[in-house]
Structure 1
């Protein structure tokens, strides 16, 4: 029999209340859009957005058609297309909530901040000086983003199809050693993008999202999972995000 779920920590409840208000309920009134539609428009539009940026900035700066810019277009653009395919095959129920008009604008603005990463690079604003030779740094960023995509998509697929046929605590597959592999994968993806840009602005944006949205969501998930009898044993042998680290 399942036990009572633990209450999320206060800091998580406060941050969740703020984010829910901003992203779903701001201003009240009609809720014409699903939040998933806003996410899909931003992610799916990344390839076109960055392609147009490169076209616009090409006469103005060599950074627009640099190797780093092309790699960024391929990484961020193709990730957006992978996201659309994932949403088509196994959509996340958490994003199906309808939102008010003001919240849809807030969500679009927040997601649009991710596009600033590529703009910094393509416009020449970032002008990165990497700690390693360019080729080695590109290898690191590409590997990190690709591996993160696989981890995130595998985690979402595993959760979707497992819960479709059997409710309960998922402790195998990609969840065997990490309790939040979908968040880990997403952080690896955008961490790879930020390293490719190598500028302080993406670092600040990611910290805001990771601490303001990801951390409370993970805390709420931990509290929900605590109602299962296997929770204590699973928590003891698994990591929050990185095995052997955290």
Structure 2
């Protein structure tokens, strides 16, 4: 079971894809790949990696600028900043081929301003003091929850991406064991856990809106499109029957 990228996953639209998902895919393809036309000087992966690698530096600069040395600020830097570095290591070791497409200048700007840049706003809200979290649990318990969610999400995402990358190098087709044995989109589950942990740390309404847009407008569309593509395999029906979309026993 392979996963499309969070924003772009190729121009191809499966023949059996739902009309609403196909329309959303065409729209995001245009925004990210082709917007503005002209030369295609960079790969989509370069735009993503710029944001991922820059997160640690950006958050550290915010801490210095605002003089916020609170425990919450340092924990958020460790969580979000380290996740960005984890992503870079993953991209160096087993890059997702879906990210390697070249895009227009306008497409790269749209990708950053439309999604990636908003992730930096999460940290700004917390470190600048714009968000004053009043957590439902004592701080130490809430921090433990957020850190645990982030770590587990990283493990799930990395393991699923590695399994997909190395398995498909040897044999094309469905992957129905390992990380994909019980759920069909573990990569997305991992990423949702990671960014969910960031939103919980910030405890502000804006990250909720951003994640709702990403998860519904991008992740859900990509998962629906991927399942439409994988439905061409004879073993798909049996695999779908015995597995879950995102989380065993719930969804």
Give the TM-score normalised by structure 2: 0.93
Between the aligned partners of 2:201 and 2:157, the Cα distance in structure 1 is: 20
Residue 35 of structure 1 pairs with residue 44 of structure 2: yes
1:141-175 C-alpha deviation (Å, 9 max, x unpaired): 00001100000010000000000001110000000
Aligned to 1:104: 108
2:153 to 148, 152, 156: 148
Aligned to 1:61: none
Matched ranges for 1:13-92 at <5 A: 13-58=22-67, 64-92=68-96
Classify the secondary structure of the residue corresponding to 2:249: coil
Q: CA deviation at 1:65?
A: 1.2
Q: For residues 176-229 of structure 1, what are the alpha-carbon distances to aligned partners after superposition, in whole Å with 9 as ceiling and x for unaligned?
A: 001000011000000000000000000000010111111111011101111111
Deviations 1:125-147 (A, max 9, x none): 01000001111100110000110
Superposed, which structure 2 residues align to 1:211-226 within 5 Å?
A: 211-226=216-231
TM-superposed CA distance for 1:237, in Å, is 0.7
Q: Which runs of 5+ in 2 are unaligned?
A: 1-13
Structure 1 counterpart of 2:131 = 126
Q: SS of 2:16's equivalent? A: coil
Aligned residue number for residue 190 of structure 1:
195
Tell me which residue corresponds to 2:163.
158
Return the alpha-carbon distance in structure 1 between the equivalents of residues 159 and 230 of structure 2.
Answer: 20
> How many residue pairs were aligned?
237
Cα RMSD between the aligned structures? 0.9
| Superposition TM-score, scaled by structure 1 size | 0.95
Counterparts of 1:37 and 1:50 in 2: how far apart (Å)? 20
**Residues 56-105 of structure 1: CA deviation (Å, up to 9, x unaligned):** 000xxxxx211111000000010000000000000001111111011111
Structure 1 position 6, deviation (Å): 5.9
- Output the CA distance in 2 between the equivalents of 1:24 and 1:157: 26
Mapped contact 1:6–1:227 kept (Cα < 8 A): no
What is the CA-CA distance between 1:11 and the residue it aligns to? Answer: 1.3
Instruction: For structure 1, list consecutive stretches of 5 or more residues without a partner in the other structure.
Output: 59-63
